[in-house]
Structure 1
């Protein structure tokens, strides 16, 4: 459907959808980006003095009975060097490094670090070594710690994370990177009977206003090297790479680490699965983005190419760049793209063009934008993406707009975001249309609401799965939503056939052939697509009978979905579909509670599990 037709439809249905687009914008805004200040804008990034305490314990004393860890000290030195690199300029951390630390040495380092953290805006603690949980508290293990102690002597030989969290408190916020899940804990003697029990694996800690990143899930090992004989652990290697990329906010850093570790450890069974939680409310950049010198030039080039292409396509022939441009007051509407591949701008030599982003249309139309951006930034610098956008690649243009809007790889600039998204939408590529529609709702005027809905309709009509699902959700939202129930169901069905997992969930909730939808979600899960597990988990808690519901919830929980983490805790607490385990229930409840996007209802249920 062409843009004018889409606008007519938007005007026809907009009157009955007073709040729908606002709610839709919340559905498609990344959860971490919802935190806003009192003005409704995303708050400014945390900046200022940065301090770090980095500890790596490899060489455990022979008499301690703790196994040596070949790479823990190497990991610490690697992370300390990157954080303290003078090339970071104002973003450099003041680093305290402790390797193979005894109890006395670590406590002295913590005392000094506490003074630094109290006068800093950001503090970071990175620990690689042995750790364990006992009596609902987590401890790290100095190199001179014994392998067996009385329950009354634990704090004499091990250092509690509660103490470390308290000493690391800074003015802004804190980060903890914990690679402490190598083996189970020591044998702990109980009373005078001489009986001893084995302490558990390092678990979840309580750290308000913090980001906490665990190298692996409770009960599973964190590998020292992958492949074997590597000088760094896969976790340290991934963290080092992610914190060195410019312009990545915390969620992108954490997602990058998770993906890299999982890929590096695929040679093992099971692969290592990092997990992170956080309750931060302001962006933070390890290396802030800087405006590329070519940014303005790329935008001007893209605008010129857009005009030239529009003239040439309207006339039905190719014109040389810039010909007759001054004779026209305004260009005609942009061309409809065939196969979603943009034409080479008139007058340009195809061999001189930068490479274009090669993202399958099926992936673009079904995967969340923030994950696509991360994948692109791991393969291309922001300057390279800008160059592709400047030469007319509409996918690059839409991504540049998104990057400017959310400050991912480029400085946050809403004016630049709008201009790039308008260019992408003018090509009639659905990715640009959909993202501009979202942008207008988030940041546009009341008068632009009709334009936002028209863009959503236009993107849907190209077969763009995400647009179909979100348009269906839009039609069903508001007091008159049921008037469009039949149309919404049709859109969900089309989106589902195009591979959008959420549409399968939505159809099940609407009782549109749930057995078929559930079977398709199960097939997604079996193929390794975690979206299948996510929505199967949510259906299991909506009165649907889902085989192996716990497995789906735990898989989605490991992949970072907050609701799945809460449901995993509830199932473990009640023994629903899994052997009851109060300890594991508390672990997942703590992980879920530390996520700021958990609903108040689920937060209250997690507090009950935690005994709070």
Structure 2
């Protein structure tokens, strides 16, 4: 019990150090031992105590599942823990779990340990498994993840897999009777899993290690730390949750000797899925807005957005328009929700706070942190825009154009974009520039579009910087800007470098950027990388790698039509 008490104290201290909403730590021995209950259940498997002779030990794998266990339980997910299990123990645990999970609507499996792929299937490594085996013995010595899923997940249930294991090229298991020289396939890093309805979340990309700790001395892996940290934010649909966990792991491991570590996810699901359900947030209807387009001057960096607001009275005073104007919305919203519950933002929005109204409008329009409600989203965005708040104007214009707009909606969206652009809001300048070039508001106006892109780029908006690479006179300077963004650890810079070099047919010099961005989950970079492997552009042609990245790209709904066409037929 003394060891368990020390571990509980370490984990509790880590919660405080992460400066997130605390989840009270239960004793590790208690969590995961009660009978399963409810329609959401989890099986947590952690294998740490490998013998350091045949297998490297993984100090934190068991710590990880102890850490995750309590967070899942607090989220209403009933967990079962299996620690340092041999094959017989795993078999018994799966039988018990399958019986208890028979009525579940969603099943989560979290594995931390060693794993590999062989024969088109993926395998986890039990404690007593050997580092080498003959083909006929693989199924006896190692546990097929696909078989485990089929065994424990009821028909029709949503399946969610977290896999925290290295995926480096060095063979984890040697298949003794495989003739690699003759072209027979040996073991490989863990690959894609076919699980039907659900999603898989790998802690690291193919060919990369999964760090057991970050920073040095941490009692849990960077993946487990991020999984728990972001679980404290309610109402994140699973795809948004994956994105912010991935960014958190990347940030924690950037600059480390074996870093950065980039998790990635894929899957197929029809309905929104939440690890922590969005809260019911009743609203007091905001005052009815006027239709006039007003303009609020952009404040100096770091200042509040109106003279009446100050850090002493405004809980959102630290969120400047400069930040709103350039930061990726899912990352920004996740940061806001980690410090301000959705109910607080809605309360502020109902009280007339223009920034809260814009944030609430975005959240309700996409179902981030709250249940999706387009009419309510528009109400908040109308109220924000009516106050002349540039971010609200830009978001309302986008909403109008993305939802079967009438001619009046198009005209109004133009006026809103112009008002926000004239106020100096960079994201609005980029949106307006794109629409002008695309001819949304009449004949294409490339000169005005380029000027707006230049203004937004000067403020640091990555998409605008990318757009300027299309113009010969601004290409070199803006490629350099994107390189600076990428070098600072922001994979959005790598993504736009990948897109820019693909468009210019100079992709061979940016393959590593495509790889970084693809691992970070950017749909376009995944498609471009798949095409590169299919054609051997900048890399050795590899049909399996092309199919791998094409499948991951298609899994993302934001993949553009032209990019879907680019990879049509690859791996299908």
TM-score clears 0.5: yes
More deviation in 366-375 or 569-578?
Answer: 569-578
2:162 maps to 177
1:125 to 1:429, Cα distance in 2 relative to 1, 3 A: same
**Partner Cα separation in structure 2 for residue 504 and residue 193 of structure 1:** 47
2:204 maps to 216
8 Å contact from structure 2 (residues 295, 423) kept in 1: no
**Would you say 1:156 and 2:145 are equivalent positions?**
no
1:458 maps to 419
Higher RCO, Cα 8 Å, sep 6+: 1
Instruction: Tell me how far 1:222 sits from its aligned partner.
Output: 1.2
* 5+ long unaligned stretches in structure 1: 1-47, 307-329
**Partner Cα separation in structure 2 for residue 479 and residue 265 of structure 1:** 42
Instruction: Answer with 1 or 2: which has the greater Rg.
Output: 1
Residue of 67, 73, 87 corresponding to 1:103: 87
**Partner Cα separation in structure 2 for residue 153 and residue 601 of structure 1:** 46
1:536 to 1:251, Cα distance in 2 relative to 1, 3 A: same
How big is each residue's C-alpha offset from its partner over 1:406-459, in whole Å with a ceiling of 9 and x where there is no partner? 222233333432332222212212101111222333458734443222212211
8 Å contact from structure 2 (residues 364, 372) kept in 1: yes
**Partner Cα separation in structure 2 for residue 194 and residue 528 of structure 1:** 40
More deviation in 583-592 or 49-58?
Answer: 583-592
**Would you say 1:137 and 2:148 are equivalent positions?**
no
Please list, as runs of the form range in 1=range in 2, the aligned pairs for 1:174-573 lying within 5 A after superposition. Answer: 174-181=159-166, 184-190=171-177, 199-266=187-254, 268-269=256-257, 270-292=259-281, 295-296=283-284, 303=287, 336-337=296-297, 339=299, 341-343=304-306, 353-386=313-346, 388-389=348-349, 393-442=353-402, 446=406, 447-478=408-439, 482-509=443-470, 513-545=474-506, 548-573=509-534
1:435 to 1:509, Cα distance in 2 relative to 1, 3 A: same
1:281 to 1:512, Cα distance in 2 relative to 1, 3 A: farther
**Partner Cα separation in structure 1 for residue 209 and residue 179 of structure 2:** 33
8 Å contact from structure 1 (residues 568, 588) kept in 2: yes
1:500 to 1:332, Cα distance in 2 relative to 1, 3 A: closer
2:3 maps to none
How big is each residue's C-alpha offset from its partner over 1:365-416, in whole Å with a ceiling of 9 and x where there is no partner? 1223222211212233224434554565422321122122222223333343
1:342 to 1:423, Cα distance in 2 relative to 1, 3 A: farther
8 Å contact from structure 2 (residues 115, 125) kept in 1: yes
How big is each residue's C-alpha offset from its partner over 1:36-62, in whole Å with a ceiling of 9 and x where there is no partner? xxxxxxxxxxxx822222211122368
1:524 to 1:193, Cα distance in 2 relative to 1, 3 A: closer
Instruction: Tell me how far 1:599 sits from its aligned partner.
Output: 5.8
Please, what is the CA RMSD of the aligned residues?
Answer: 3.5
1:126 maps to 110
2:48 maps to 58
**Partner Cα separation in structure 1 for residue 562 and residue 92 of structure 2:** 43
* 5+ long unaligned stretches in structure 2: 1-37
How big is each residue's C-alpha offset from its partner over 1:290-348, in whole Å with a ceiling of 9 and x where there is no partner? 2357x53xx66xx49x9xxxxxxxxxxxxxxxxxxxxxxx9998673462744455xx9
**Partner Cα separation in structure 1 for residue 311 and residue 492 of structure 2:** 39
8 Å contact from structure 1 (residues 404, 413) kept in 2: yes
Instruction: Tell me how far 1:276 sits from its aligned partner.
Output: 1.6
8 Å contact from structure 2 (residues 133, 173) kept in 1: yes
The count of residues paired between Structure 1 and Structure 2 equals 526
More deviation in 581-590 or 405-414?
Answer: 581-590
TM superposition score normalised by structure 2: 0.81
1:564 to 1:155, Cα distance in 2 relative to 1, 3 A: same
Residue 213 of structure 1 aligns to a residue in which SS? strand
Residue of 56, 60, 69 corresponding to 1:67: 56
8 Å contact from structure 2 (residues 160, 200) kept in 1: yes
Instruction: Tell me how far 1:530 sits from its aligned partner.
Output: 2.6
8 Å contact from structure 1 (residues 441, 452) kept in 2: yes
TM superposition score normalised by structure 1: 0.76
